[in-house]
Amino acid sequence: MKNLFLTSSFADVADLFKKSENNLLQGKIVTFIPTASLHEEVTFYVDAGKEALEKLGLVIDILEISTATHEEISRKLKNNDYIYITGGNSFFLLQELKRTQADKLIIEQVMLGKTYIGESAGSIILSPNIDYVKDMDDFKVTQNLESHEALGLIDFYPLPHYKNFPFDDVTENIVSKFTGKIELRPFSNSQAIWVKEDSIEILA
């Protein structure tokens, strides 16, 4: 059963996650993947996400996909209780997930019922294809990404930071460009998309 908690800014909706998980979080271990943030100048959300998780009682186990061994990636994704991927550059993130085959391991764990928490780029890469965020993220940072086909764990296209500064203009442009072409689901920093198997709910 798929359990996906998709956010724009996890720190802003951590209480919604706590309610969704029935408060049974104390002492559980989350695999924290900050890879998407490596090519970003602004990364405050990485520490904000960590602090929010720790306040919920979760124990953070950092996994840097771009430098970790396959054994380490496999062990942490399989053994820990949650998977969390931060925001940053969706294209670089997807490149590294594919290069290390972490994408397949994540799909496997999600399909086995492990809860996945995505923040911004971490939400976007669950869609079928990430071409739609080219105006938001610089796809030129990748050198070895042959396809923008993503993990495909959802059949819609999350659009985080909708109408939130500094993404207000670019998210409006993406909505204008792709409405009617793909199933966009815009959501703001104060909202989350909770996917339970085939049920999709917007929380705020």
pLDDT digits (tens, 9 = 90+) for 87-109: 999 999 999 999 999 999 999 99
Determine the pLDDT at residue 162. 96
Look at residue 143 and tell me whether its pLDDT is greater than 90.
no
Q: What is the average pLDDT across 74-99?
A: 97
- Indicate yes or no: pTM above 0.85: yes
Based on its alpha-carbon atoms, the radius of gyration of the chain, rounded to whole angstroms, reads 15
CA angle 55, 60, 65 (to 5 degrees): 140
On whether the CB atoms of residues 7 and 197 are closer than 8 A, the answer is no
The per-residue pLDDT for range 48-64, each reduced to its tens digit, is 999 999 999 999 999 99
Determine the pLDDT at residue 43. 82
Look at residue 22 and tell me whether its pLDDT is greater than 90.
no
3-state secondary structure at position 117: strand
Determine the pLDDT at residue 190. 97
CATH number of 3-203: 3.90.380.10, 3.40.50.2000, 3.10.200.10, 3.40.50.880?
3.40.50.880
On whether the CB atoms of residues 7 and 120 are closer than 8 A, the answer is yes
Among 120, 123, 127, 188, which one carries the catalytic annotation?
120
Task: Choose among 26, 24, 28, 35: nearest CA to 125.
Answer: 35
Look at residue 171 and tell me whether its pLDDT is greater than 70.
yes
- Per-residue burial over 80-106, b if 16 or more Cβ lie within 10 Å, else e, is bebbbbbbbbbbbbbbbbbebebbebb
State the Cα–Cα distance between residues 109 and 14, nearest whole angstrom: 22
Q: Give the pLDDT band of residue 24 (cuts 50, 70, 90).
A: confident
66: annotated active-site residue: no
**Torsion angle defined by CA atoms of residues 62, 64, 68 and 72, in that order, rounded to the nearest 10 degrees:** 30
- Give domain limits for the chain: 3-203
161: annotated active-site residue: yes
Determine the pLDDT at residue 23. 66
- Write the DSSP string, 122-177: HHHTTSSB-GGGTTTS-GGG-SS----B---SSSSEEETTTT-TTSHHHHHHHHHH
Which helix (H) or strand (E) segment is 64 a member of?
Answer: none
Orientation angle between helical segments 44-55 and 10-20, nearest 10 degrees: 30
- Per-residue burial over 117-126, b if 16 or more Cβ lie within 10 Å, else e, is bbbbbbbbbb
Determine the pLDDT at residue 88. 95
**Which region among 3-7, 60-64, 140-144 has the lowest average model confidence (pLDDT)?**
140-144
Q: What is the average pLDDT across 4-16?
A: 97
Among 8, 123, 127, 161, which one carries the catalytic annotation?
161
Tell me the average pLDDT of the chain.
95
How many percent of the chain have pLDDT more than 90?
A: 87
